[in-house]
Chain A
Amino acid sequence: MPEKRIVLENCGVIDPSDINTYLSRDGFKALEKARKHMTPQQVINEVKRSGLRGRGGAGFPTGLKWELCTKSPEKERFVICNADEGEVGTFKDRYIIQNDPFGIIEGIALAGYAIGASKGYIYLRAEYHYLRDLLENAIEQAKTKGFLGEKNNESFGIEVREGAGAYVCGEETALMESIEGKRGEARYRPPFPPEHGLWQKPTSINNVETLANIPHIIFRGAEWFSQIGTQQSKGTKVFSVSGDVEKPGIYELPMGTPLRELVEELAQAKDLKAAQVGGASGRLIPEEKLDTPLAFETVLGAGAVIVFSKGRNIIQVVRRNIEFFAEESCGKCVPCREGTQVMSDILRRFSLGQGTKEDLTILEELSNAMMLASLCGLGQAAPNSVSDSLLYFRSEYDT
């Protein structure tokens, strides 16, 4: 399958600092259509029928999330655009913001209309501070044109909030804690954000890419969208490819495209040993499994693909991943706080060739415990690359 651009349709075509170039490509037509001809429930139904699922990694059905927000009797509701793209190897959200900020704004406004939100937030990671002016300029222009703010009887406004350097703040509950001015520690669930989210109000929190899909779905209809992709994963996915490839960068492909096509044909990987799909918390795919289709039902995550060529030592890579989690763990729950530390100690021993059989048993047991018992997605997904490397590259852990 060749590249198919939906989310990235306007990237490189429009001028991200000029709303008129966006308007000339049917920009904000979806918002107008929704506000004039559709009820909020109809918007939600359309998104539900499209089969769109969250692009941040978890893959929760977007329409359902919105509907859950509207079920709450609470009238003050929020939309949050999660632009805290911390996952190692992901840079698609940066690319989308840099090239098409208006698409995101339209998506947030549509989400706001659908769930009846009074306000939208864009939580931008501190590392992307250089994108802030661009985003705020885009919001300002959308306001001047009357798509946001007081005019048009629509009082929905968008505010940019910035993080201060913490990977865990990409986790939805930690992100909300951070906006509230607290340490970015994950909250326990239930209650889920659509019920008690930001400031305990119903909140829909969606990834940049998810929201960038919304205008296209509303404008062209759910039928059109749901024809693309696989049974359980509709539409396209934007992939960030990095590592040992000739052409690292952003690629948008229909869901279900085999991994081989992305890394070998498009990104031109040579002598590939393995690819990690989904960033540091993603799955490790060995060369022989490269024909795995990329979709929620198989492997996807946030769409980060890091490629390792034959010369790479898998233990070193896995060790780097776990060290990353040890640095980024919020420290609240025991399995993640202590587990990542123990794991990185053991992996250090293995990388020096000093690992024992006992260490392997502990690694396996610890991976299980962390996956099963950690408080949030960070700790639950942290051991993924460890357990995959034990499955596919056990010989490298030669003891």
Chain B
Amino acid sequence: MSDENLSLELEKLCIHYKRHDDLLSFIKKVHEKCGYLSPENIKNVASLWNVSVGEIYGLTTFYVFLSTKPLGQNVVRVCRSTPCYLENCDMVIETIEKKFNIRPGGVTEDGKFSLQLVSCIGACDQAPAMLINDELYGNLTPGKIETILKGL
């Protein structure tokens, strides 16, 4: 998307979310559109919403679903809270690390995948579990992970 188109679109989005007084959703929408919040994006959002740049940066760095660095097209979020820990979430992390040759927090070289470690995702009955983008995958085994990742 060209810069001009993007800023036009941001303006439209801003008007929509301002009506609902919903800054967080606005930021999330921008995040979704651009993949991450670049310094440029943060500046735009701040000036559109009429708050300081620091405020938006502070907001972005507070929430784990928002990133100030580029993410992969698919974000893999592996839960490692107690129930998943009991069901060997380390196996899940290791399998993905090996497959993509990345560390948690990293992005694959082709920019297709990011791996993040997160807190409880509320799928403890299906532990170990992970989210890929917004989709939930539970009862993971090395084989199952392989199939899921192939399907993406």
Q: Which A residues are within 8 Å of any B CB, using their own CB?
A: 85-91, 93-94, 125-130, 159, 161-167, 178-184, 240-244, 248-250, 276, 279-280, 304, 306, 308, 312, 317, 320-321, 324, 327-328, 330
User: Are B125 and A250 in touch, CB under 8 angstroms?
Assistant: yes
User: Are B59 and A320 in touch, CB under 8 angstroms?
Assistant: no
Report 7 cross-chain contacts, Cβ distance below 8 Å, ordered by A residue: A90-B122, A159-B20, A166-B64, A181-B23, A241-B125, A306-B82, A317-B82
User: Are B136 and A320 in touch, CB under 8 angstroms?
Assistant: no
**Total residues of chain B contacting the partner, CB 8 A:** 34
Q: How far is it, in angstroms, between the C-alpha of A163 and the C-alpha of B118 when the chains are bound?
A: 15
User: Are B120 and A166 in touch, CB under 8 angstroms?
Assistant: no
Q: How far is it, in angstroms, between the C-alpha of A86 and the C-alpha of B124 when the chains are bound?
A: 12
User: Are A88 and B62 in touch, CB under 8 angstroms?
Assistant: no
Give chain A residues whose Cβ lies under 8 Å from the Cβ of B22.
Answer: 161, 181
Of the listed residues B58, B65, B66, B124, the one surrounded by the most CB atoms of chain A closer than 10 A to its CB is B124
Min C-beta distance of A231 to chain B, whole Å: 31
User: Are B28 and A248 in touch, CB under 8 angstroms?
Assistant: no
CB < 8 Å neighbour of B83 from A130, A165, A243: A243
Give chain B residues whose Cβ lies under 8 Å from the Cβ of A91.
Answer: 122-125
Give chain B residues whose Cβ lies under 8 Å from the Cβ of A243.
Answer: 82-83, 86, 124
User: Are B119 and A164 in touch, CB under 8 angstroms?
Assistant: no
User: Are A181 and B119 in touch, CB under 8 angstroms?
Assistant: no
Task: Give the nearest-CB partner of A280 in chain B.
Answer: B82
Give chain B residues whose Cβ lies under 8 Å from the Cβ of A312.
Answer: 86
User: Are A128 and B124 in touch, CB under 8 angstroms?
Assistant: no
Tell whether B21 is near chain A: CB-to-CB under 8 Å: yes
User: Are B82 and A89 in touch, CB under 8 angstroms?
Assistant: yes
Min C-beta distance of A134 to chain B, whole Å: 13
Of the listed residues B27, B62, B83, B127, the one surrounded by the most CB atoms of chain A closer than 10 A to its CB is B83
Question: C-beta contact mask, B123-146 vs A, less than 8 Å → 1, else 0?
Answer: 111010001001110000000000
User: Are B63 and A242 in touch, CB under 8 angstroms?
Assistant: no
Q: How far is it, in angstroms, between the C-alpha of A320 and the C-alpha of B125 when the chains are bound?
A: 18
Given the interface contacts A243-B83, A280-B82, does A126 sit within 8 Å of B123 by beta carbon?
no
Give chain B residues whose Cβ lies under 8 Å from the Cβ of A178.
Answer: 24
Given the interface contacts A164-B24, A166-B62, does A308 sit within 8 Å of B124 by beta carbon?
no
Give chain B residues whose Cβ lies under 8 Å from the Cβ of A88.
Answer: 81-83, 119-120, 124
Give chain A residues whose Cβ lies under 8 Å from the Cβ of B82.
Answer: 88-89, 243, 276, 280, 306, 317, 320-321, 324
Q: How far is it, in angstroms, between the C-alpha of A126 and the C-alpha of B120 when the chains are bound?
A: 12
> Contacts A127-B121, A165-B63 given; 16 further ones with Cβ under 8 A?
A90-B124, A91-B124, A94-B123, A125-B122, A130-B134, A163-B65, A166-B64, A180-B23, A184-B63, A248-B124, A248-B125, A312-B86, A324-B81, A324-B82, A324-B119, A324-B120
Of the listed residues B20, B25, B122, B125, the one surrounded by the most CB atoms of chain A closer than 10 A to its CB is B122
Of the listed residues A91, A130, A164, A248, the one surrounded by the most CB atoms of chain B closer than 10 A to its CB is A164
Q: How far is it, in angstroms, between the C-alpha of A128 and the C-alpha of B122 when the chains are bound?
A: 8
Given the interface contacts A164-B28, A165-B64, does A242 sit within 8 Å of B125 by beta carbon?
yes
User: Are B85 and A320 in touch, CB under 8 angstroms?
Assistant: yes
User: Are A165 and B118 in touch, CB under 8 angstroms?
Assistant: yes
Of the listed residues B25, B63, B86, B120, the one surrounded by the most CB atoms of chain A closer than 10 A to its CB is B120
Given the interface contacts A159-B20, A312-B86, does A86 sit within 8 Å of B125 by beta carbon?
no
Give chain B residues whose Cβ lies under 8 Å from the Cβ of A126.
Answer: 63, 65
Given the interface contacts A130-B136, A183-B58, A249-B125, does A164 sit within 8 Å of B63 by beta carbon?
yes
B residues 7-31 in Cβ contact with A at 8 Å: 20-25, 27-28
User: Are A87 and B125 in touch, CB under 8 angstroms?
Assistant: no
User: Are A167 and B122 in touch, CB under 8 angstroms?
Assistant: no
Q: How far is it, in angstroms, between the C-alpha of A36 and the C-alpha of B66 when the chains are bound?
A: 46
Min C-beta distance of A280 to chain B, whole Å: 6
Q: How far is it, in angstroms, between the C-alpha of A312 and the C-alpha of B82 when the chains are bound?
A: 12
Min C-beta distance of A347 to chain B, whole Å: 13
Task: Give the nearest-CB partner of B120 in chain A.
Answer: A88
Give chain A residues whose Cβ lies under 8 Å from the Cβ of B118.
Answer: 127, 165
Q: How far is it, in angstroms, between the C-alpha of A182 and the C-alpha of B27 when the chains are bound?
A: 11
Task: Give the nearest-CB partner of B135 in chain A.
Answer: A130
Q: How far is it, in angstroms, between the C-alpha of A162 and the C-alpha of B59 when the chains are bound?
A: 14
Min C-beta distance of A251 to chain B, whole Å: 11
Q: How far is it, in angstroms, between the C-alpha of A249 and the C-alpha of B122 when the chains are bound?
A: 11
User: Are A242 and B83 in touch, CB under 8 angstroms?
Assistant: yes
Q: How far is it, in angstroms, between the C-alpha of A261 and the C-alpha of B23 when the chains are bound?
A: 46
Q: How far is it, in angstroms, between the C-alpha of A279 and the C-alpha of B82 when the chains are bound?
A: 9
Give chain B residues whose Cβ lies under 8 Å from the Cβ of A130.
Answer: 134-136
User: Are A244 and B86 in touch, CB under 8 angstroms?
Assistant: yes
User: Are B134 and A129 in touch, CB under 8 angstroms?
Assistant: yes
Give chain A residues whose Cβ lies under 8 Å from the Cβ of B123.
Answer: 91, 94
User: Are A85 and B23 in touch, CB under 8 angstroms?
Assistant: no
Give chain B residues whose Cβ lies under 8 Å from the Cβ of A90.
Answer: 120, 122, 124
B residues 23-56 in Cβ contact with A at 8 Å: 23-25, 27-28
Q: How far is it, in angstroms, between the C-alpha of A143 and the C-alpha of B136 when the chains are bound?
A: 29
CB < 8 Å neighbour of A240 from B25, B85, B125: B125
User: Are B135 and A161 in touch, CB under 8 angstroms?
Assistant: no
